[in-house]
Amino acid sequence: MGWAEEATSRPRRRGPNWGRVAGWTVLSLILLITLFPFYWMLRTALSTNNAMYLDPSNPLPVQFSWGGFRRVFGLASPAEAAAEGGTTGSIHFWLYLRNSVIVSTTITIGQVLFSAMAAYAFARLRWRGRDVVFFIFLTALTIPPIFVQLPNFILIRDLGLLNSLAGIILPSFFMTPFAIFFMRQFFLGISREVEEAAMLDGAGHVRTFFGIIVPMSVSPILTLSVLTYITSWGDYFWPLLVGRADNARVLTVALGIFQSQTPQTGPDWAGLMAGTIVSAVPVLLIFLLFGRRLVDNLGYSGVK
């Protein structure tokens, strides 16, 4: 309901609410464009490669088959795969999924925790040079990843952590500039009175932070966690550099390798699309699970 309707008891305008109609039209259009490629991916995932080349713009699956999904989960034999024009490479789907989960979960926990702590120091604590240091942290945003990835790679190699999940996790484990920036903006919005009340009760800064501020900031923290999880889940270049061996391979890298294993007539589109859909499902689930808490509670916190 629009605010106008809520706030007043004026009679509604006669006739349909053109504003809402226009709004829904625009939203529907945007949703359509957003979702159509996914329909295309699904349609491709359920097609047979060889048949698809002959009829590429058919909006329906061409020669319907579950082959794409079966290849992704490693359930298709090489003969079956070759018959459908799919990649015959093996893919240890569950292993890579597990690796992705471990990597993303660990990174999220560490990054959110440490970034929130640092953000609190930048937003709420008072110390000399605070804003200068914050700006320096911020400039890390502008550094092209490739600049730091090679030296970091050499560092990880020298630490003996190549081809290990720890090596993948380490650089993002402590912070990213975005996380600090994001949490700081939200901490800035918390009223000082809350902290002052806590301090009057004898709590130190640490107790105040973990006991009062954090519970109040569940929504931004949750939002950041979900975003961090999704971002680290979809990271490709760094895990590719550091985790090529099977035991350290994450899902995105596996998909990339899967895609480059071109069989006879070209990339295994059905398999690749199936793999993409499957790897997007876990993060979508997480978002749906936490989504409501995410934004509904992101209310005006503290003082009213």
| 161-200 positions binding another protein, by CB under 8 A | 161-167, 169-171, 173-175, 177-178, 180-182, 185, 188-193
Residue 2 interacting with another protein (CB under 8 A): yes
Which of the residues 214 through 233 are near another protein (CB under 8 A)?
A: 219-220, 223, 227, 230, 233
SS3 for 30? Answer: helix
Q: How far is the CB of 277 from another protein (least distance, A)?
A: 9
Instruction: Please give the residues from 234 up to 273 whose contact with another protein meets the rule CB under 8 A.
Output: 234, 236, 240-241, 244-248, 252, 255-257, 259-266, 269, 272-273
Q: Is 107 exposed, middle or buried (0-12, 13-18, 19+ CB in 10 A)?
A: buried
Distance CA 235, CA 237 (A): 6
Rounded to the nearest whole angstrom, what is the least distance from the CB of residue 46 to another protein in the complex? 15
Query: How open is the CA angle 155-159-161, to the nearest 5 degrees?
Result: 100
Residues 50-89 that bind another protein (CB under 8 A): 50, 53-57, 59, 87-89
> Taking CB under 8 A as the criterion, which residues in 3-42 touch another protein?
3-4, 6-8, 19-20, 23-24, 26-27, 30-31, 33-35, 37-38, 40-41
Rg over CA atoms, the chain: 25
Q: Choose which of 97, 210, 216, 218 interacts with another protein (CB under 8 A).
A: 210
Number of H helices, E strands in the chain: 17, 0
Name which of residues 143 to 162 contact another protein (CB under 8 A): 143-148, 150-155, 157, 160-162
How many Cα neighbours within 13 Å face the side chain of 95? 12
Sign of the torsion formed by the C-alpha atoms of 270, 273, 279 and 283: negative
Residue partners of 196: CB distance under 8 A and separation at least 6: none
Please say which residue, 64 or 246, places its beta carbon nearer to another protein. Answer: 246
CB of 284 to another protein, least distance (A): 6
Q: Which two tokens stand for residue 298?
A: 């992101």
Q: Is 96 in the site for another protein (CB under 8 A)?
A: no
Nearest distance from residue 287's CB to another protein, in Å?
5
Check if the beta carbon of residue 180 is closer than 8 Å to that of residue 137.
yes
Any idea which residue has 């660990």 for tokens?
106
Q: Measured from the CB atom, is 73 or 102 closer to another protein?
A: 102
